[in-house]
Amino acid sequence: MNRALIHQRARRLLPAGIETCGLLHFGMGPGQLERVLLDSVFGGGQAQGLVALRLSLSTALAIQRKGLRYFEAGDWVYSAFAAECASFAAEVLPSGHGAGYSAVALDGRAWFVVLPVERLVVYGWWE
């Protein structure tokens, strides 16, 4: 499967308002980014898959302007967090990062984190 196809499929998993423009990484091994994000943001759990995507510039700017109001509930529960306060910041995020937003699917099987200043979306799912 090529990167363009993986990106296309990953985009369909995100809510409509979260537009991305590229695939950054996928298939990280156990013990890498997914464990750090899950343990720090969602309090534990084992992700079965993970995809990191580049957030589109227009979406990043809109989220920066509107904050949590940008997101619509739908099938997701959203929350804001100060990325600089999260324990994974030193390992994962570049210095000078901004606030982020996280969401968990109502069925509890998927999650994502949006960091608009970094134009980063990390999407993960459980079995």
pLDDT at 84: 47
pLDDT 10s digit of each residue in the chain, 127 long?
577 888 888 899 999 999 999 888 765 555 555 554 555 455 555 546 778 899 999 999 999 999 999 998 889 999 987 554 444 434 444 555 567 898 999 998 888 989 999 899 988 887 6
Q: Which two tokens stand for residue 17?
A: 């308002």
By C-alpha distance, which of 96, 118, 108 is closest to 48?
108
Residue type, 106: L
pLDDT at 91: 43
| Whole-angstrom distance, CA of residue 79 vs CA of residue 12 | 21
Q: Which two tokens stand for residue 114?
A: 């949006």
Please report, for residues 48, 80, 82, 124, the alpha-carbon distance to residue 75 in angstroms, rounded to integers and kept in the order given.
20, 17, 23, 15
pLDDT at 43: 57
pLDDT at 106: 92
pTM tops 0.75, yes or no? no
